[in-house]
A and B are shown apart, each in its own frame.
Chain A
């Protein structure tokens, strides 16, 4: 019965300066589990936001047919009224409210006089919890549940809205193996009940295990829809669809001549700050002077966590392992100590973690190494201006003056300010976390050129990136990280997007 419940036709969605989706079409059969795959930034989440009305009708081109009828959702309430419910990657539960309160949030069960009938609500919540296999008291605050159980509460919440099409964005990204397996079982059970399901996932083993069809999205376009019921569709087949893009001359050339080893990590293990699970496990990694080493991994693989734990233990707890800088063992327990030992970390989210947006270029550049500009605690403001001015010219930061407020600069120029800040600490090794995220093509090229210049000057560079072509274009050597473990290491000459993707998705095989 190939009855189509949802059809999205020629969806095009643009943001200022970026086309996020172009002519994307998607057809979902009634009662199937439909997986959507693609690299980070390919447009999967945007497509789901269009579908659920987060991006309202009129803000995109194309049409949505649900049950054969054209739909114009003005907001998430419209789509939910039609039985389309989305569960976002970051769970949208209120931590201090009870399970029942969360389930009926915005959809409260009213009794007489318009007051909420909590007995009714708790009783109904209990039934919903039973149907998702969660044995908890509905009055338990959500914060007391683990992520896996919270995910189930989200699904119960969706069921309470009479869901017909359930959209899950990376439902297992934060779950351990047991919880993941449980969740997948639940999705199968829901399918038996006739609920259609769209699932965005990076975990190809899960997709091959559970999906009936898979749509691959790449660079904002739908590439193909694969019928998973045929046996020919393997993980390799999906990977080819996801990465099928050629490297072009996007990356400036560089002579590679690695020297002495600058940074080495041995048996590095990090526990999640509040949960019990390990985020990084037994990682060994090294980088030489004049070398660019890439870390490839999917979202949730532990890339940022690894980098931040090395950088003065700014993430996680129970950090174990040994860290060597230039052959000497280092115990960097604070960020200041890490900086003193020649480590610099350029954060993933420059606005939240990298810059003081309300301050000027000058003070942002000097922020991490004020001691180099001061004597006995007094800052030499004129030297500071000189340093910032030098960075402005060297990095080609396009700003009228170093006194300009950083928040007003473009993303690429902001990133150059962050790089300037870290270069001024005179590091031996720079860890760059998604150095080109959210900046335009021209600025990307400039960032690559800067990286090349640093390497030529003998710095060691570690690049963390979700964009495989970027890693292949920039690095000398690439490590792959999956579920907190290094799953592979290879010189760039031997690496292909396919081989990397396979290692990145090499999770412990799931039961079921």
Chain B
């Protein structure tokens, strides 16, 4: 074991049994890596194929700087919702009310800021408080009263839609002050200048790539220290270069449009935090354990009620974040805001590999699932395909994705 590179290709334990060796050499082989992680990698492949398909069909308009910026602005709130939703789905629940909660939180914010003239941040704060309260309400009924989440949040969907109408007195409010609008429609640009493009955006992109590479490398070193199998070094480098190239391309395109959208920063921050929360924290583990086998989790000392409660509080919080973003983007609050958002968020989670039966799913997967939906919608809009066809296509994609998931599970033989 003279260097990381050599030690990475074989497990240095003496007790190497044959299957272990086979598995190990498997992870250093790209084909096997893809096959082993078909469930996960499948959606990345699907995203790439869909992006390529629509890039060709729209003569490259899909990937133009302006359109990429548009996709980010248009679908960010769905992605925010999908983060909370996938956590609930992993835990074996669902939330049908998020569309109504988006509307309610936006409405509360609009009343305070537009009608009563409070500063923008009071509106944001109030929306978040309302969102958390709604989450606690749902959490109470699901976790402590033992009512299935489907019912509780179906009731919440009606309840909070009704409250939205009450708060808004059945009329739309508009417009928000400029500061509030910046949340969803603002850009960070020109901070470092640049010649026809925004250098600041590129810098942030570069920092993201560096962060990805460094954290990847540190994980790798740690795993080798703990004698765990890792991918071969060239493969690792290839992965970092590929992801880095995608990020930089994305940043480059944004830099040539209007710069770095503030909402993208919010989204990236949330994905990072919740990615870590689900993978690295005790709370995250307990969510997976509850979804995987409720009885086993309870008998392992997991405080099932507490965890369920906080899952819903978290969903309420994220729904409020989405509510702020949405109200900011639409520059006002409407009684019908957020209609059907829950379905987009749920679809994103399932397309992203979450299992209907709970216990499986990732935040990153849900983001990719959401992007697949976003790129499809956007691409079809660019092509001028009518709403009815769009709906049919999205429905079929969702069905195929879940069918693929069920098939995979059956093949794995773990479905009971």
Known: A367-B289, A407-B412. A359 touches B300 (CB 8 A): no
Q: Which of B69-77, B160-168, B180-188, B218-226 contacts A (4 or more CB under 8 A)?
A: B218-226
Q: Which of A358, A368, A400 contacts B292 (CB 8 A)?
A: A358
**B22 close to A400 (CB less than 8 A):** yes
A409 vs chain B, min Cβ distance (A) = 11
Task: Give every chain B residue within 8 A of A353 (Cβ-Cβ).
Answer: 293, 295-296, 299
Q: If the complex has contacts A356-B297, A382-B222, A401-B229, are A377 and B292 also in contact, measured as CB distance less than 8 A?
A: no
Inter-chain contacts of B280 with A (CB < 8 A): 378-379, 381
Once the chains bind, are B303 and A336 in contact (CB under 8 Å)?
Answer: yes
- The residue on B at minimum CB distance from A371 is B282
- Asked whether, in the complex, the Cβ of A408 is within 8 Å of the Cβ of B228, the reply is no
Chain B residues near A314: list those with CB within 8 A.
298-299
B285 touches A379 (CB 8 A): yes
Q: Are B293 and A378 in contact (CB under 8 A)?
A: no
A400 and B413 in contact, given A314-B299, A363-B285 (Cβ under 8 angstroms):
no
Interface size class of B (residues with CB under 8 A): 35 or more
In the complex, the chain B residue whose C-beta lies closest to that of A404 is B23
In the complex, chain A residues 300-359 whose Cβ is within 8 Å of any chain B Cβ: 311-312, 314, 334-336, 338-339, 345, 347, 351-359
A374 touches B227 (CB 8 A): no
- Which residues of B pack against A, CB within 8 Å? 15, 17, 19-20, 22-24, 222-223, 225-229, 279-286, 288-289, 292-293, 295-303, 355, 359-360, 409, 412-414, 416
User: How far apart are the CA atoms of A407 and B296 in the complex, in Å?
Assistant: 14
Footprint of B on A, CB under 8 Å? Answer: 311-312, 314, 334-336, 338-339, 345, 347, 351-359, 363, 366-368, 370-371, 374, 377-379, 381-383, 385-386, 389, 393, 399-401, 405, 407-408, 421
- A359: contacting residue among B228, B295, B359, CB under 8 A: B359
Q: How far is the CB of B254 from chain A (nearest CB, A)?
A: 32
* Interfacial chain B residues near A357, Cβ < 8 Å: 292-293, 414, 416
Residues of A near B299 (CB, < 8 A) are: 311, 314, 335, 345, 347, 353-354
Q: Known pairs A358-B292, A381-B279, A401-B23; list 15 more (Cβ under 8 Å).
A: A311-B299, A339-B301, A347-B299, A353-B299, A356-B292, A357-B414, A359-B289, A370-B282, A377-B282, A377-B283, A379-B285, A381-B280, A382-B223, A385-B226, A407-B413
**Docked-complex contact B301 and A356, CB < 8 angstroms:** no
Q: How far, in whole Å, are A311 and B300 apart by their CA atoms in the complex?
A: 10
Residues of chain B contacted by A382 (CB below 8 angstroms): 222-223, 225-226, 228
In the complex, are the beta carbons of B22 and A356 less than 8 A apart? no
B413 engages A408 (CB within 8 Å): yes
Residue of B nearest to A335 (CB): B301
- Tell me, in angstroms, the Cα distance from A226 to B275 when the chains sit together: 67
In contact, A351 and B416 (Cβ under 8 angstroms): yes
A358 to B360, Cβ gap below 8 A? yes
* B186–chain A nearest beta-carbon distance, Å: 33
* B24 surroundings in chain A (CB, below 8 A): 401
Query: In the complex the two chains form, is B282's CB within 8 Å of A374's CB?
Result: yes
19 contacts between A and B (CB under 8 A): A345-B299, A352-B295, A352-B296, A356-B297, A356-B359, A359-B289, A366-B285, A367-B296, A367-B300, A370-B282, A377-B281, A379-B280, A379-B282, A379-B284, A381-B280, A382-B222, A389-B226, A401-B229, A405-B414
Structural contact, B226 and A386, CB atoms closer than 8 A? yes
Chain B residues in 8 Å Cβ range of A347: 296, 299
Residues of B within 8 Å of A358, CB to CB, are 292, 355, 359-360, 409, 414
Interface centre among B15, B223, B280 (most CB of A within 10 A): B280
Q: How far is the CA of A80 from the CA of B356 in the complex (A)?
A: 38
Closest 8 pairs between A and B when the two form their complex, measured CB to CB: A407-B414, A356-B292, A400-B19, A368-B300, A336-B301, A335-B301, A400-B23, A356-B293
- Contact yes or no, A368 B301, CB < 8 A: yes
Contact of B296 among A354, A378, A383 (CB under 8 A): A354
Across the interface, which residues of A come within 8 angstroms of B293, CB to CB?
352-353, 355-357
B222 CB → nearest A CB, Å: 5
Give complex CA distance A368, B296 in Å: 10
- Residues on A with C-beta less than 8 A from B303 are 334, 336
A192 to chain B, nearest CB (A): 45
Alpha-carbon gap, A284 to B232, bound state (A): 59
Most B Cβ at <10 Å: residue of A339, A345, A400: A400
Give Cα A408–Cα B414 distance, bound, in whole angstroms: 7
Q: How far is the CA of A393 from the CA of B17 in the complex (A)?
A: 11
Q: Are A378 and B281 in contact (CB under 8 A)?
A: yes
B304 to chain A, nearest CB (A): 10
Q: B15 contacts A421, CB within 8 Å?
A: no
- The residue in chain B whose Cβ has the minimal distance to the Cβ of A357 is B414
Q: How many Å lie between the Cα of A25 and that of B348 in the bound state? A: 59
CA distance A64 to B194 in the complex (A): 90
Taking CB atoms, residues of chain A closer than 8 Å to B414 are 357-358, 405, 407-408
A380 to B189, CA, bound (A): 38
**In whole angstroms, what is the CA distance A352 to B292 when docked?**
11
Report chain B residues within 8 Å CB of A408. Answer: 412-414
Given the known interface contacts A357-B416, A408-B413, A421-B300, the answer about A385 and B228 at a Cβ–Cβ threshold of 8 Å is yes
Q: How far is the CA of A312 from the CA of B299 in the complex (A)?
A: 9
Bound state CA distance, A338 and B292, in angstroms? 22
Across-interface contacts of B284 in A (CB, < 8 A): 379
B413 touches A389 (CB 8 A): no
Chain B residues, CB < 8 A from A345 = 299
Are B298 and A335 interface neighbours, CB within 8 A?
yes
A359 to B15, CA, bound (A): 24
Q: Which residue of B lies closest to A375 (CB)?
A: B282
Least Cβ–Cβ distance between B2 and chain A, in angstroms: 22
**Residue on B with the closest CB to A356?**
B292
Contact residues in A for B22 (Cβ distance below 8 Å): 400
Nearest CB of A to B144, in Å: 15
Q: Which residues of A sit under 8 angstroms from B279, Cβ to Cβ?
A: 381
Within 8 Å CB of A389, what residues of B?
226-228
Report A420 CB to chain B, min CB distance, Å. Answer: 12
Cβ of B225 to closest chain A Cβ, rounded Å? 7
Query: A363 contacts B283, CB within 8 Å?
Result: no
A358 CA to B405 CA, complexed, in Å: 13
Q: Contact at A393–B359, with CB atoms within 8 Å?
A: no
| A356-B289, A386-B226, A405-B412 known; A367+B297 contact, CB < 8 A | yes
Question: In the assembly, what is the distance between CA of A381 and CA of B15, in Å?
Answer: 22
Query: Known: A314-B299, A386-B226. Contact between A359 and B288, CB under 8 A?
Result: yes
- Closest chain A CB from B216 CB (angstroms): 14
Residue picked from B20, B225, B299, B412, most chain A C-beta under 10 Å: B299
- C-alpha spacing A304/B278, complex, angstroms: 34
Taking the closest CB of chain B, its distance from the CB of A391, in whole angstroms, is 14
Which chain A residue shows the least CB distance to B295? A353
Minimal Cβ-Cβ distance residue in A for B288? A359
A450 to B280, CA, bound (A): 31
